[in-house]
Structure 1
């Protein structure tokens, strides 16, 4: 078996698909130290620049002193701390849904929710470009698992129309992590109402960034419905860690009983929840941060003019630069590193074959000077690498 594993690793390296970790020696920020070198970073999902915010550091230090550093037991034994409970109520109010439930990660939330709400005899309808955790949640649920072409409302309707499943659930990312585009959520909700289905939205990359005061993608579209269940992660725009699911009270009550990744897990330390309570307040007060993000996005789209490579059409903090070839995408990423800039190369199976890309992630703490440096370096790279 070991020889087989090594052969597969060697082949991945030859195909330009071998993934490697960087060692970070600084807080997460727009300027970091990785592998003992300073870089301007466009790698992080810390969209509002809160991961190193002094208010959150102080909140965590105080809360650790008050509550210790571990939860010690599952949430259904003695692990559900007042800090957890207060954060759940605060998040539900913020996203304007009746109730919320914390999970340790977004991956655990998606697996737990889909596995609890649907099963054999039911059906999940999933976007072809959904994140891996939504796909895994669908597979583990034992429900029929149907995938429709990306953002294709007509194809989805045909699948719903043909389904005889007892319960139907549409599952989709709100903002797609590798393309940066936004799902047609209002159209999905209309299909739910027409075909008696429910809508599960993964708002990992919309929460904190989209909508009024950063309330997320549902607020962005100004839609509400008891048919909607949303999940959002708390390690991206919120700057800390974890995730939550929000929806009708009966849904949350049911998940507490049936979501295995909740029932059989020790909750994150209470201090993280206290820190996140401070983070939600900063998100709500962060309109100036979101305004700066929009200015950065517009600058990049207006000024990055390329002949071979292509910036995808995205109005979000995720700006994908499609290169195509795996090795060429790696070469571009490595070239930018020589300029002191980190932008990750994303290759299959994370993205479709032939669409290897650089995933440019913007943060509200980036400046226009940072953007000018990035644009100039990419222009120079195209001239040198594509000559």
Structure 2
């Protein structure tokens, strides 16, 4: 309406001043051109501000499959220490073969959503495996865990309900909560006193849901589940956990945060991803009680309006769950590698954040320093990435190192040596 008004005013001005007719369509196009040019200038200015702040995120082009050793465009083979490939299974021969076989037997994709003509036997088989792995009643697959988080809260919680969320929860959780009409509270990160205060303030809610990451991906720290569970029982609240950085490799057999604390079955709803430790392709899921999963199948918008997972993706993840249900030895490998890296880096003088998790943030503080540090590590043959605002808070830039069960002790030691060399040259240690 504003553009139309501007067009009419400009048309009347020109007609009155020049006493000639004006082509309305031509004038509208000129106004649109002007608006587009102004928007382009604004966008370019915003991009320049990102560059000047040192927070520009470049995408390095990998020319090989995801693995411990990868090739990056323009460089020879390098060691990869920044992937979520926690178990090293993204390129495991059995996982790759499962995807190939499914491509041949079930095709490239379903060309549809699940409830129309997009559900195959392998989708149901995978959901059954996930339910058995987590010891839950039922599971629903999504295109990603971002979609799983987007599809849950709107259906579970209405205006009469309350959601109480950790302030550092993943962006997908935040966005999912925004979509629902529940009363919303945020508690200070891992602060149980503040959580209890929010529970006291919200006792008039029909139901209350405490929402937290199991493991917080930027810091590698673990939610205080025992304390959360005690408060949930005291104030009659439910618990939701996002286990994207825990499922498959955290806890004694990879069952995640519940198992890490010896509290299996204590959480009401678990969301997680297939795109990290569990094959690394794509996909996410919600696993919980059967009534909740049935409701999500009927109403969850990302499930109802997104194509079902492609058969090769389903088969790769299914193969990983088969392996984990039979053998959890890879979990011990990642525990050993994590301990070796954290101990050596701390001894060298670096500050490593987190709680003995495979996410090992090397804290640097300055965004430009983190970017420069990562570039110099690449020159040493080590692939890591600097994280800065808005991915992490301002002043808390870091190199987020991620350990894999597939790394050898030699890989760990070589990477630590490179960190020490670069750290000394930049005055970090």
TM-score by length of 2: 0.87
Residue aligning to 2:182: 143
Whole-angstrom distance in 1 between the partners of 2:300 and 2:252: 30
Q: Deviations over 1:2-22 (max 9, x none)?
A: 110010000001001111212
Residue aligning to 2:298: 257
Which of 45, 54, 57 is the aligned partner of 1:7? Answer: 45
Residue aligning to 1:44: 83
Which of 192, 200, 209 is the aligned partner of 2:240? Answer: 200
Contact 1:88 1:101 in 2 (8 A): yes
Residue aligning to 1:384: 425
Residue aligning to 1:22: 60
Whole-angstrom distance in 1 between the partners of 2:421 and 2:311: 48
Structure 1 stretches of 4+ moved >6 Å:
none
Contact 2:252 2:331 in 1 (8 A): no
Whole-angstrom distance in 1 between the partners of 2:407 and 2:127: 31
Residue aligning to 1:331: 372
Contact 2:135 2:265 in 1 (8 A): no
**Once superposed, what is the RMSD of the aligned Cα atoms?**
1.6
Residue aligning to 2:313: 272
Which of 215, 218, 236 is the aligned partner of 1:178? Answer: 218
Whole-angstrom distance in 2 between the partners of 1:354 and 1:261: 35
1:145/1:168 Cα in 2 relative to 1: closer, same or farther (>3 Å)? same
1:346/1:306 Cα in 2 relative to 1: closer, same or farther (>3 Å)? farther
Q: Deviations over 1:138-161 (max 9, x none)?
A: 111132222111111111011011
Flag the structure with larger Rg. 2
Whole-angstrom distance in 2 between the partners of 1:19 and 1:208: 29
Residue aligning to 1:83: 122
Which of 338, 342, 352 is the aligned partner of 1:297? Answer: 338
Residue aligning to 2:30: none
Q: Give structure 2 stretches of 5+ with no counterpart.
A: 1-38
Q: Give the aligned length.
A: 387
Contact 1:322 1:357 in 2 (8 A): yes
TM-score by length of 1: 0.96
Which of 293, 303, 310 is the aligned partner of 2:351? Answer: 310
3-state SS of paired residue (2:222)? coil
1:375/1:25 Cα in 2 relative to 1: closer, same or farther (>3 Å)? same
Q: Confirm whether residue 32 of structure 1 aligns to residue 73 of structure 2.
A: no
Where do residues 221-240 of structure 1 align in structure 2 (5 Å cutoff)?
Answer: 221-225=261-265, 228-239=268-279, 240=281
How far did 1:39 drift? 1.6
3-state SS of paired residue (2:360)? strand
Whole-angstrom distance in 2 between the partners of 1:68 and 1:16: 44
Whole-angstrom distance in 2 between the partners of 1:317 and 1:309: 16
How far did 1:279 drift? 0.9
Where do residues 96-175 of structure 1 align in structure 2 (5 Å cutoff)?
Answer: 96-163=135-202, 164-175=204-215
1:187/1:67 Cα in 2 relative to 1: closer, same or farther (>3 Å)? same
Contact 1:238 1:283 in 2 (8 A): no
Whole-angstrom distance in 1 between the partners of 2:411 and 2:64: 19
How far did 1:225 drift? 4.9
1:138/1:76 Cα in 2 relative to 1: closer, same or farther (>3 Å)? same
Q: Confirm whether residue 365 of structure 1 aligns to residue 403 of structure 2.
A: no
Contact 1:226 1:247 in 2 (8 A): no
Q: Deviations over 1:197-240 (max 9, x none)?
A: 21110000110012342222223333355861001101111123
Where do residues 43-82 of structure 1 align in structure 2 (5 Å cutoff)?
Answer: 43-82=82-121
- Deviates most, 340-349 or 217-226: 217-226
